[in-house]
């Protein structure tokens, strides 16, 4: 998640503590801050504890790429919150070319798989958010109605910066805002949504065989989606 260079571990213990209306992380007695030097304050104790666990898992060197929850929290605070409305509009724009709207017409067995897996998600998006998205065959672009796009924009704009960070990871991993919203809304799990997003690709693998480079890329994207789902789960308050 981050290209920052590794540095030597300089603390003995990372621990979470209440911090105003949220929760922070301390490295010994040093307050953990974001790259932009803002206090790393997150909404829930569960997320703060998980971030502290990431820092405690570092050994002699601190490897940012192994701390996805920290990276997502940094993004929410430093990059998303200062321009939350604009970020939400850009994210909502993924709905204009959502993966779930582009269906193969043939072969028939693939078309049936896609319809069975993808249409219930689109139906949920319409029922939950009022956005009825139009379908297309193949890759030819289909224009979505202004009403549907506005409904998606309103749904995304209502999210806080941390949920926007999670939704961004999920949406870009799946190629689908609809799937991202379904995970956010509890309709699907992150891993289940990833498998749904991969139906076309897996069908082609069944026909033509696997490719090592493509498999490695898929594994990276799967891990990103799982991290996004875990991050989202940690944002849920304990009841």
The span from the CA of 182 to the CA of 185, in Å, is 5
How high is the pLDDT of residue 5?
Answer: 61
Asked if 221 contacts 173 with a C-beta cutoff of 8 angstroms, the reply is yes
What residue has token string 């699907």?
Answer: 188
CA angle 116, 193, 211 (to 5 degrees): 95
- Is the model more confident about 138 or about 47? 47
Residues of the chain with CATH 1.10.3580.10: 83-234
Average pLDDT, the chain: 94
How high is the pLDDT of residue 1?
Answer: 42
pLDDT band at 216 (very low <50, low <70, confident <90, very high): very high
What residue has token string 């689109």?
Answer: 122
Residues of the chain with CATH 3.30.2180.10: 8-61
Tokens of 64: 């940012």
The CA–CA distances, whole Å, from 83 to 3, 39, 78, 161, 211 equal 23, 18, 9, 9, 40
CATH code, 8-61: 3.30.2180.10
How high is the pLDDT of residue 106?
Answer: 87
Q: Which pLDDT tens digit goes with each residue over 115-162? A: 999 999 999 999 999 999 999 988 889 999 999 999 999 999 999 999
Asked whether residue 4 carries a pLDDT value surpassing 70, the answer given is: no
Tokens of 148: 């549907």
How high is the pLDDT of residue 238?
Answer: 53
Question: Which architecture, in CATH terms, is 83-234?
Answer: Orthogonal Bundle (1.10)
CA 136 to chain centre: 25
How high is the pLDDT of residue 72?
Answer: 98
Q: Which pLDDT tens digit goes with each residue over 57-92? A: 999 999 999 999 999 999 999 999 999 999 999 999
What percent of the chain stands above pLDDT 70? 96
Tokens of 182: 């379904």
Asked whether residue 197 carries a pLDDT value surpassing 70, the answer given is: yes
* Helix (H/G/I), strand (E/B), else coil: 39: strand
pLDDT band at 2 (very low <50, low <70, confident <90, very high): very low
List the beta strands (DSSP E) in the chain: 7-8, 14-19, 22-27, 30-31, 41-42, 61-62, 102-103, 136-137
The span from the CA of 52 to the CA of 48, in Å, is 6
């Amino acid at each position: 998640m981050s290209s920052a260079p590794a540095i030597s571990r300089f603390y003995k213990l990372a621990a979470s503590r209440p911090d105003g209306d949220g929760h922070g992380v301390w490295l010994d007695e040093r307050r953990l801050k974001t790259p932009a030097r803002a206090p790393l304050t997150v909404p829930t104790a569960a997320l703060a504890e998980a971030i502290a666990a990431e820092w405690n898992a570092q050994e002699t060197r601190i490897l940012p790429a192994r701390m996805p929850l920290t990276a997502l929290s940094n993004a929410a605070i430093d990059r998303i919150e200062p321009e939350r409305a604009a970020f939400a509009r850009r994210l909502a724009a993924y709905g204009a070319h959502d993966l779930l709207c582009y269906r193969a017409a043939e072969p028939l067995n693939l078309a049936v798989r896609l319809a069975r897996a993808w249409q219930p998600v689109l139906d949920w998006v319409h029922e939950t958010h009022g956005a009825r998205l139009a379908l297309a065959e193949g890759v030819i672009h289909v224009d979505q109605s202004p009403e549907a796009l506005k409904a998606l924009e309103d749904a995304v704009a209502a999210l806080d910066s941390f949920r926007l960070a999670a939704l961004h990871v999920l949406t870009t991993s799946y190629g689908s805002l609809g799937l991202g919203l379904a995970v956010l809304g509890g309709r699907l799990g992150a891993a289940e949504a990833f498998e749904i997003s991969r139906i076309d690709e897996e069908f082609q693998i069944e026909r033509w065989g696997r490719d090592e480079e493509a498999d490695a890329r898929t594994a990276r994207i799967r891990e990103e989606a799982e991290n996004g789902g875990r991050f989202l789960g940690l944002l849920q308050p304990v009841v």
